[in-house]
Chain A
Amino acid sequence: MNTDDILNVSKILLEYLPNTLKLFALTLVFSIPLGVIVAGLKRCRFKPVSWLTNLYILIMRGTPLMLQIVAVYYAIPMIVKGAKDSAAASGTELSGFMQSLDSFMRSDNYMIIMLVIAFAFNYAAYFAEIFRGGIESIPVGQYEAASMLGLTRRQTFFRIIMPQVIKRVIPATSNEVIVLVKDTSLATVIAYAEIMLKAKQMMNTYSSIIPLFIAGAFYFVMNAIVTVAFAMLEKHYNYYH
């Protein structure tokens, strides 16, 4: 590959960067609030809820994200196919619900929606464990002081506990976000048009491994930005310890 080729490959990869960023950003936007909710459910005093939450976390963390992506992506097509087959066999019409599923899975946004669902539920499990650890690391004395001052449970959580939890979970959250930047490349498994997929195609086009190095540089720069952003956030919370 000559310099022109390298420039060309970089340009093409840059065109697919928005798709990578879209998956990354949407996953964060949904998985963090979901993680807070899951952490709350796990701490629920009604035991069945906390057991089910545990099971969910166990499955999400215990099986490959790549498998989860494939399963989520192909679930609807499989169901629709089953419905069509049995409709054809019995000579009846496809039900309205199945018809709308059918058109949904053919729509433009189907792939990104399924990807975000798979990623968000997977990352929520990791975030939930981080947040739960953060909540449980706050000394009971903080709750007792708040209760002696007459603060309600709500006020105690939002005014006293949560701000301290945020500071404590920043380092672990930062790790998870760095992994997410790299994990977006798993979306190639269903041929989502992001950087990794294009780099692989161009590796074949040019019979060269250099496109992979260029893609690697993209991920590296993204993570440098993530690292700096979290370092700034950490510094912002440095006014107390």
Chain B
Amino acid sequence: MAILEVEHLSKKFGANKVLQDISFTVSKGQVVSIIGPSGSGKSTLLRCINQLETADGGSIRVCGMDMLQMIGGKAVYSKKKTLREIRLKIGLVFQNFNLFPHMSVMQNIIEAPVRVLKKSKTEAVSDAGELLKKMGLSGKELSYPCELSGGQQQRVSIARALALKPEILFFDEPTSALDPELTGEILKVIKELAEEKMTMVIVTHEMEFAREVSNHVIFMDGGHIIEEGDPEKLFGDTQNDRTKRFLSRYKNNF
């Protein structure tokens, strides 16, 4: 079953064509990695799907619901109510966490379940406790984000996104803001989610990780999808020159 269907998506910033004719599908339980050089449009793609940016053309469907459609040659967004319903099926983990600094770890996680899903506080707290345990953060409930390491903050932000029980979870370079020795703990958490068959789309520069965790890889450059397919094939023996060049540059640099 397709959780996400993107077709012919395009987006411009002024004259800068950041996304051009992007099409791909994510089915339930799939883990998709998106790789590509800086400035290739990866974040913009995620932001368009997450309604943080408005696309110029194409269509997006989430869990069978139309978010964006082409009608008479024009890109038309669905009604507010539908967009909101879709939003609650999607989670996004930011590069720089974006935790709420004035709220404790527990408050950060239960805010949306209580205020948006109208869960009882007791239920939300107990669910959050489970999530924190899973993230290896038991005992940090009352800490504030500024008292945590970057890796711990990122795990809180993953727990916060999971608290809404999304159908699909997006990660935009979840380890890029972290010290190298802290990336491992985040990658481990994502791997565990993959084992539980959580549907995920991960933008990352961790090539080894992408190869290991994902069952589909998309390589983007200059706003286009250049190549996509099986990780072993794409990382192992790609026939595409641009992919080859990108991957070899990564091997040399890291």
The chain B residue with its CB closest to the CB of A142 is: B98
Given A145-B94, A167-B102, verify A150-B146 contact (CB < 8 Å).
Answer: no
Bitwise interface map of B from 129 to 168 toward A, beta carbon under 8 Å scored 1, else 0: 0000000000000001110000000000100110010000
Which of A33-41, A69-77, A155-163 faces chain B? A155-163
**Docked complex Cα distance between A239 and B51 (Å):** 33
B94 touches A149 (CB 8 A): no
B102 touches A240 (CB 8 A): yes
Chain A's interface size range is: 10 to 19
Given A141-B96, A144-B94, A240-B144, verify A149-B52 contact (CB < 8 Å).
Answer: no
Given A141-B94, A144-B94, A164-B102, verify A149-B146 contact (CB < 8 Å).
Answer: no
Within 8 A of B (CB), among A117-153: 139, 141-142, 144-145, 147-151
Given A160-B100, A163-B102, A164-B101, verify A148-B115 contact (CB < 8 Å).
Answer: no
A-B contacts at CB below 8 angstroms, number: 56
**Docked complex Cα distance between A163 and B144 (Å):** 15
**Docked complex Cα distance between A149 and B88 (Å):** 7
**Docked complex Cα distance between A163 and B50 (Å):** 26
The chain B residue with its CB closest to the CB of A162 is: B102
Given A141-B96, A142-B98, A240-B102, verify A150-B164 contact (CB < 8 Å).
Answer: yes
Partner of B145, one of A139, A144, A163, A240: A240
> A241 on the interface (CB 8 Å rule)?
yes
Given A144-B52, A155-B115, verify A241-B101 contact (CB < 8 Å).
Answer: yes
**Docked complex Cα distance between A149 and B116 (Å):** 8
- Smallest CB–CB gap between B112 and chain A, Å? 4
Partner of B98, one of A141, A167, A239: A141
A-to-B contact residues, CB < 8 Å: 139, 141-142, 144-145, 147-151, 155, 159-160, 163-164, 167, 239-241
7 residue pairs, one from A and one from B, having the closest CB atoms: A149-B112, A145-B98, A141-B98, A150-B116, A240-B144, A163-B102, A148-B92
